[in-house]
A and B are shown apart, each in its own frame.
Chain A
Amino acid sequence: MNVKLGDGHGGFSAEWARERLRVLSSVEPPDSLRDKLMAGIPASAGGQPVNCRHRTWSRGMWWTSVAAVVAITTSVVAWLEFPWERSVRPTVDVNSGSGQVYASDHNSLRPSDSNMYDINGLR
């Protein structure tokens, strides 16, 4: 055994320990292991691209995304163009602040609220 003496560690240096460890790198796996690993290569290898995050989108995905963007944009534009369909618009209150009439809600009007149509009834 190759032992270095006089290194202050009772004759066995750190380098001696390192060398002994490095000897372990000469250990080889059994030959059969390589064959098993080669047999374990996925069947998809050999032409089929691996399904991974970096893969470009398929054509179907692309057109679906385009359709979704167009639909969303159209909806937003429509909503901005025709705000009265969604928002509540108070009509001009001729008489007083308490008599608000909502143009979109004719059926729920009470007689006291509809005095804007009753010009003759003005006091």
Chain B
Amino acid sequence: MRDRSERRTLAALREGQREAYARIVDAHYRSVYRFLLFLGRDASLAEDLTQEVFASAWRALGTFRGESSIRTWLHRIAYHAFVDVQRRRERDQAVTGGLGDCADNAIADPLHGILANEDMAEVVQALHDLDLEERTVLVLHYVDGLSYREMAEALKRPDGTLKWVTSRALEKLRRRLAGKVES
């Protein structure tokens, strides 16, 4: 638990105060949504999973010990929710022989509207070309602004390892972006 105000919020949540729930939603839903959006490059999936993340959080409130911040906790739930969906999709693709690919959904995806900006579209594409671990650390650190320590708590990995993965991922992204700009 990071600070006193968060401890108070958690106590208010446990007392069932509706305003505390609303405060948590307002404080964190944007970053949780963005995290999921750039992990999966699918706006409707990000929207569905954001709702699932908060629903899971409310259900698990009784078991949350407050050892990490609420933000870290929500990102952790979000990451696991995304990984679960991805596994399910991979299984389905294996069964259907590749039908129902994400790329098919991407055409009708609202993300296309958001990413009318060419610069953003390039970054999102370059991010998507990275593997999940690299994409995760870059989005958590540079888009959502989590510190290495918070990332370590969210992903349950040593922060030293995450620093190294982040720096390697950033270098990969830089090369891809530079390649796109130069071409």
Contacts and interface: CB of A to CB of B under 8 A. Distances in A.
Interface of A: 1, 3, 9-14, 16-18, 20-25, 27-30, 33-34, 36-38, 40-42, 44-55
B61 A38 contact: no
15 contacts: A1-B119, A9-B174, A11-B178, A17-B170, A18-B170, A21-B170, A23-B119, A30-B110, A37-B25, A37-B51, A37-B54, A49-B15, A50-B61, A52-B14, A55-B62
The 6 closest A-B pairs by CB, nearest first: A52-B62, A12-B178, A17-B174, A21-B142, A29-B33, A41-B21
B51 A22 contact: no
Interface of B: 13-18, 20-22, 25-26, 29-30, 33-34, 37-38, 43, 46-47, 50-51, 54-55, 58, 61-63, 110, 114, 119-120, 122-124, 127, 138-139, 142-145, 170-171, 173-174, 177-178, 181-182
Contacts of A27: 34, 37, 114, 120
Nearest to A19: B142
A17 B178 CA distance: 9
B contact patch SS = helix
A22 B47 contact: no
B108 to A, nearest CB: 15
A28 B124 contact: no
Contacts of B173: 17, 21
Contacts of B18: 41, 45-46
B174 to A, nearest CB: 4
Contact of B177 (A17, A24, A30, A50): A17
